Chains A and B, each alone.
Chain A
Amino acid sequence: MTVTRPARIGLRVIALAYLALLLLLPVGLVFEKTFAQGLSSVWASLTTPAAISAFWLTIEIAVIAVLANTIFGVVCALVLVRGRGRARWLLDVAIEVPFVISPVIVGLSLILVYGTTGWFGKWLISHGITVIFSVPGMILATVFVSMPFVVREVAPVLREIGTEQEQAAATLGASRWQTFRRITLPSIRWGVAYGVVLTTARALGEFGAVLIVSGNIAGKTQTLPLLVETRFYDFNSAGAYTAGALLAAISIVVLLIMTVTAPDRRRH
């Protein structure tokens, strides 16, 4: 498609204005509000016991959710693309569920299953395992809402690389595991990496589902997004901005690491 020069400039202006108004300006303002209070109060706000606990809990939950969903995502993509079962379409649809239902409903449904009166929860509690209003439930909720990203990034890459390289590896004597390790995994690594970034971002920022299952107990089951909300409704908006800025900074750092370490994707 050829685009005339004025049209091209017009398109750029629209795209940049859209980006600036909806993304850069609000996020920038959060940082601006944060640092407007002065560095010492930023530091004080970040080092309260509740903030430190929220920071580490957020990281812990995100790391576990990313690990679980990366392994699940790659296996699931392999089943979807390379599998031969007739029920694969069902899996394909099921993976979309976390995208289409509201996180609040995810939280509620987890309570129905694992809560004190839930059908699995009773058994767990009688064995001394508490899921709801505790960290395991928050991990479950986060894993649930961030599940589709790795699958959705890896499946098209798998489809695109085809099976010839894997077949060639087999004829050269590679076992299934060797073929996966040496051929399949390196071929899909950028799909996995991008899926990991999206999963991380989603896991760090999850609010609704985690709010419902966590009980939001400061110092125990409070993540950074929950801390932001609590501070905001406690009329501590400076503290809310500070926690928000920290959360945004973590996500941006993850994205930057990924962008810097990824070589030119077009090379292969």
Chain B
Amino acid sequence: MAISLRDVHKSFGDFKAVDGVSLDVPEGSLSALLGPSGSGKSTLLRLIAGLEQPDQGEIGIGGQEALAVPPQRRGIGFVFQHYAAFKHMTVRDNVAFGLAVRRRPKAEIRERVDELLGIVGLSGYADRYPSQLSGGQRQRMALARALAVRPRVLLLDEPFGALDANVRAELRTWLRGLHDDLGVTTLIVTHDQEEAMEVADQVVIMRAGRIEQTGAPRDVYRQPVNDWVMRFLGPVSRIGEHLVRPHEVSLALEPEGDAVEAMVARVIHLGSHVRVELELAGGGQAHAQLTPEKADELELERSDIVYLKHAQVTTPEARALSA
């Protein structure tokens, strides 16, 4: 295991930021710490980096106990949400920093920096200052800087959180590709489920300082351990006893079996799919996600009466009881 945490606790005053976390991050994997703000995910990352000290617990990196080791010698690369670019240095000097403080030979530094600038696509920008780069370029520079010293693990704290939506999407695809090429064990903190699902092999879902669930993206999505995780990972509707994903809801114009009656409140065409907002006959709201073809076939309009069916998914909590 590249990173292992055992019963880690960290409080700030009365606030329990991390409340008994144990976690293994496999060697060579890309794992995501996913949770709402205040769930302790960034604190956990900073504990691994040594930027904070835990009140209790054990932290191991690459099979070695890390707590007695200062951040300088933990063999980590850390990327901050707001880049933490060294503003008074050129891109080249930023990337060279870790090697320069290790007093590596000048020729070696130059070669390594050129190689990394090539990898992150900033070859032509070596002599610029961070203020002359876009947000996405600054973050790629920060990544090159972190990778320059060949860290054993790469820790990314909301790395794309300060960027525009389309730059974020582009960079996370790029990050996944980079990880596949380099194979450095990576742990990324994010509050965006889509981002976690897209980039990670393993998703670690945190809430209030604890881990709710750990697993591959499809497993946590399909088999959430509780209602909170299910709601956190994507939109859900409650239909009777059941929590259902909108794409698992099907609509019919005629009553059939145990279908639930509902009235169409709004039909929203979103291009790749159509969202139908519904008022349930027994009270409450739900929404269904249909293909455009299905929506055309039903010719739904506001105030139409429809009948809902859903795939046989019970609530996670009900499943846990029956298991």
Contact = CB atoms under 8 A, between A and B. Distances in A.
Q: Do chains A and B stick together as partners?
A: yes
Interface string A155-183: 00000000011011111111100100011
Contacts of A171: 49-51, 71-72, 74, 76-78, 146
A86 interface: no
B84 A165 contact: yes
Nearest to B70: A170
Given A175-B72, A268-B88, A168 B101 contact: no
A169 B97 contact: yes
Contact of B84 (A164, A173, A182, A186): A164
A187 B100 CA distance: 18
Nearest to A174: B101
A8 interface: no
A170 B97 CA distance: 11
B155 to A, nearest CB: 8
Interface in B39-77: 49-51, 70-74, 76-77
Contacts of A169: 86, 97, 101
Contacts of A267: 129, 131
A173 B73 contact: yes
A174 B84 contact: no
A167 B98 CA distance: 13
Nearest to B71: A170
Interface residues of B, number: 29
Contacts of B50: 171
Given A164-B82, A167-B51, A178-B101, A173 B72 contact: yes
Given A165-B86, A167-B51, A170-B51, A182 B72 contact: no
A186 B88 contact: yes
Interface residues of A, dominant DSSP: helix
| Residue of B74, B84, B102, B131 with most chain A CB atoms under a 10 A cut-off | B84
A173 B49 CA distance: 12
Contact of A173 (B51, B82, B87, B101): B101
B145 interface: yes
Interface string B135-171: 0000000100110010000000000000000000000
A123 B285 CA distance: 88
B80 interface: yes
Interface in A64-112: none
Contacts of B100: 182
A170 B131 CA distance: 22
B303 to A, nearest CB: 52
A182 B76 contact: no
B87 A268 contact: yes
Interface string B9-50: 000000000000000000000000000000000000000011
A173 B88 contact: no
B82 A172 contact: no
